[in-house]
Structure 1
Amino acid sequence: MHDIRLLRDDPAAFAAALARRGTAFDTEAFGALDAERRKAAQETEAAQAERNRLSKDIGKAFSSGDRAGGEAMQAEVARLKQVIADGDAREAEVAAALSAQLAEIPNLPYPDVPEGADEDGNVIVKHWGEPTAFAFPAKEHDELGKRLGMDFDAAGTVSGARFVYLKGTLARLNRALGQFMLDHQTQAQGYTEVVPPVLVREEALFGTGQLPKFADDLFQTTDGRWLIPTAEVSLTNYVREQILGEAELPLRFTALTNCFRAEAGAAGRDTRGMIRQHQFEKVEMVSIVTPDQSEAEHERMTLAAESVLEALGLPYRRMLLCTGDMGFTARRTFDLEVWLPGQQRYREISSCSTCGDFQARRMNARYRPAGETKGTKFLHTLNGSGLAVGRTLVAVMENYQTAEGAIRIPEVLRPYLGGLAAIEPA
């Protein structure tokens, strides 16, 4: 959510910043609606002041014997009461319309974000590692998985498309990846592990920006709750409607959860394999910081995600997303893309975003600066994947495959698998 003063003080600059994202904004229409709300509020305040004045004078009129004057003032007070009620209703109606418009406006990109319409406008920031090459034709993970315990057909009969069964040692490797990521983020990167709810209220999804705009990409339960598309929702909303002390910050949370996405906008994309599933596991990182901490925290969080890929020996590149490819709540986003030799391309495995105070305003999450007893400021929030477990499993399978179809286990994962060095095909 934006501070409405930005739109009032310099609507042209606000519209220009949004235009960089390819989003049009009618400043005149918004300004007219805002003016209407303020006019309704001013008229209501004037009517309240007049009613209060007349209410005091009614008694004086009757006491002095001016019965006609007193009755006239009583009639005027009754009329003003209705004027106030109508004015309050109109102000509330216009305010709701303004809030609805604000809720649909994406965050403004930072000046250093490159302008572009889609992923073709993204910029490579760095590479780590050389793309894995083999002396044999590399296979994709779904082909390798057929002999290792990956079953899409059985999942299809139970749940439909975009689901999978993992069995045996492959399931154990998947579990090891999630455990390793949690241990790494808590022990090496200083995040606090959290076990959060995966069912949340509508207000929580509004707070982190998934609602109302992206309802089609979510799953809703019969009692009106929603399944989280990412633990960002639960972790960020931990501070909703709170006022924290500056000494409590920064807060850094991490969680391994199941995530659920309808993938409404991905029809026909990645229909094979585990890249784009309705249900998947992810280790999420969330930081709650003061405004002056958020810039450094974005780099810190991105490095924390990269360190997992480096520990696993997976080649990757960091991308700075352009204005047209960023998420709704982000001011800047770094995507990490891991090399998949089976596909012979880099694929996204983590997305780390800084949101400024955009989410905090939607959640009414604030802090009180040190040494101050009055006044609060909105927090800054950041979120990132550290990492998507299923996609990391895909990357390990493809980068550590052998000509015989086995999967070598990265060294850092072997303690989680009892020292196992490889998964052999059945």
Structure 2
Amino acid sequence: MHDIRLIRDDPAAFDAAMKKRGVAPAADALVALDRRRREAATGAQTAQARRNEASKAIGAAKAKKDEDTAAALMAEVAALKQRLPELEAEEAQAGNELDALLTALPNIPAADVPEGADEEDNALVHERGTWPSFSFTPREHDAIGPALGLDFETGVAIAGARFTLVRGDAARLQRALGQFMLDRLTREHGYEEVAPPLMVRDEAVFGTGQLPKFAEDLFRTTDGRWLIPTAEVSLTNIVREKILSHDVLPLRFAALTPCFRSEAGAAGRDTRGYIRQHQFEKVEMVSIVAPEESEDEHERMTRCAEGVLDALGLAYRRMKLCTGDMGFTAARTYDLEVWLPGQQRYREISSCSTCTDFQARRMNARYRPEGEKTTRFVHTLNGSGLAVGRTLVAVLENYQREDGSVTVPEVLRPYLGGLDALGAR
């Protein structure tokens, strides 16, 4: 959510930022609503003060037996009593309209974010690792996976399209991947492990930006809660409506959870295999920092995610997303894309975003700088460390053998009882 004061101070700059994100100019409408709200608020305050003043004057006039003055004052008080609710209603209506417009607008992109319409305009930052070589034609994961326990047909029979039953070696590998990622983030990078709620209230998904604009991307329960699309929602809302001490920052949280997405905007995309599911597991990182720390934290978080890929021996590249491909709440996003030899292409496996104070304003999450009486909004960041199912896909494709078995990356072997291969007989 945006600071209306900044829009009021420089409406042209705000419209220019929104233009980069493909949003029509809105500053004039926002400033007009803000003016209307403030004028109504000032009018209500003035009327209330005059009502109080006139009410006291009535008593003084009666004490002097000045009935004409008392009567005039009583008529004025009666008129003010009638006018006050109108002014308060006008203030509330203008405020609601202003909030509705503000909450529908995306975050301002950072200055270094490239302008563009879609993923074709994203910028390569760097590539890491070496593509594996094979003495045979590598297969895609949906050809390798069934023999190891990726049961696409039964998943669909049980739950419908975009659900997969994972069993046997594939289930063991998926569990090992999630545990390895979480252990690495908590033991080596200082993230605090969290087991958060998987169902949240309206205000939680509003705070992280999924509501009201993206409700169709979520699953809702019968009692009005929402299944989390990512643990970002639960983890970021830990600081909702709180004023933190500066000395507790930065806060870094990590969680391994199921995630649930309707994939409303993905009709016809990745209908085969395990890439795009309604239910999947992900290790999520969330950082809560002071504003002056957020730039360094974004780089740190992205390197933490890259470290998981390095440890697994997977080749990848870092992309800086353009304005047209970034998420609603992000000011800057780095996508990590892993190399899939079966598909002969890079696929997204992690997104790491800085949201500046955009989410914090929606959540009213603040901190008190040391030595200051006033509070400021924190900055929030989130990133995947990594998407577990997509990492399983990457391991299957990059470590496949000609006989259909899969070599276990060395760092995962302790999680699998020392096994060096799956599917080997």
Q: TM-score range by the shorter chain?
A: over 0.9
Provide, for residues 84-135 of structure 1, a one-character-per-residue CA deviation record: whole Å limited to 9, x for no partner: 1110011001101101111011000111111101001101101111222312
Q: Which runs of 4+ in 1 moved over 6 A?
A: none
- 1:331–1:355 Cα contact (<8 Å) kept: yes
For 2:244, what is the secondary structure of its paired residue? strand
Unaligned runs of 5+ residues in structure 1 are none
Which residue is 1:193 aligned to?
193
Which residue is 1:104 aligned to?
104
1:230 and 1:348 map into 2 onto residues whose CA distance is 16
Which residue is 2:23 aligned to?
23
- 1:147–1:425 Cα contact (<8 Å) kept: no
What letter is aligned with 1:283? Answer: V
Q: Mean Cα displacement is larger for which, 314-323 or 48-57? A: 48-57
2:156 and 2:253 map into 1 onto residues whose CA distance is 34
Which residue is 1:38 aligned to?
38
Provide, for residues 4-49 of structure 1, a one-character-per-residue CA deviation record: whole Å limited to 9, x for no partner: 1111000000000111111112322222222211221222222112
What letter is aligned with 1:23? Answer: V
1:169 and 1:21 map into 2 onto residues whose CA distance is 44
Q: Would you say 1:214 and 2:199 are equivalent positions?
A: no
Q: TM-score, normalised by structure 1?
A: 0.98
Taking the TM superposition and a 5 Å limit, the aligned residue runs for 1:314-333 are 314-333=314-333
Provide, for residues 313-350 of structure 1, a one-character-per-residue CA deviation record: whole Å limited to 9, x for no partner: 00000001111111111111100000001110000000
Which residue is 2:127 aligned to?
127
1:360 and 1:29 map into 2 onto residues whose CA distance is 24
1:158 and 1:80 map into 2 onto residues whose CA distance is 66
Q: Would you say 1:50 and 2:75 are equivalent positions?
A: no
Which residue is 1:380 aligned to?
379
Identity of aligned residues (%): 66
Q: How many residues align?
A: 425
Which residue is 1:307 aligned to?
307
- 2:138–2:397 Cα contact (<8 Å) kept: yes
The CA deviation at 1:79 is 1.5
Which residue is 1:396 aligned to?
395
- 2:169–2:423 Cα contact (<8 Å) kept: no
What letter is aligned with 2:232? Answer: E
RMSD: 1.1
1:241 and 1:60 map into 2 onto residues whose CA distance is 46
Provide, for residues 141-196 of structure 1, a one-character-per-residue CA deviation record: whole Å limited to 9, x for no partner: 11111211111111111110000011112101110000000110011111111111
Q: Mean Cα displacement is larger for which, 219-228 or 19-28? A: 19-28
Q: Mean Cα displacement is larger for which, 122-131 or 276-285? A: 122-131
Which residue is 1:253 aligned to?
253
2:286 and 2:29 map into 1 onto residues whose CA distance is 36
Which residue is 1:344 aligned to?
344
- 1:2–1:107 Cα contact (<8 Å) kept: yes
Q: Would you say 1:415 and 2:419 are equivalent positions?
A: no
Provide, for residues 38-69 of structure 1, a one-character-per-residue CA deviation record: whole Å limited to 9, x for no partner: 22122222211221221111011211222233
1:133 and 1:218 map into 2 onto residues whose CA distance is 40
Q: Would you say 1:283 and 2:289 are equivalent positions?
A: no
Which residue is 1:168 aligned to?
168
Which residue is 2:136 aligned to?
136
- 1:61–1:69 Cα contact (<8 Å) kept: yes
Provide, for residues 257-304 of structure 1, a one-character-per-residue CA deviation record: whole Å limited to 9, x for no partner: 000000000000000111100000000000111111111111100000
The CA deviation at 1:78 is 1.5
2:254 and 2:148 map into 1 onto residues whose CA distance is 30
- 2:227–2:260 Cα contact (<8 Å) kept: yes
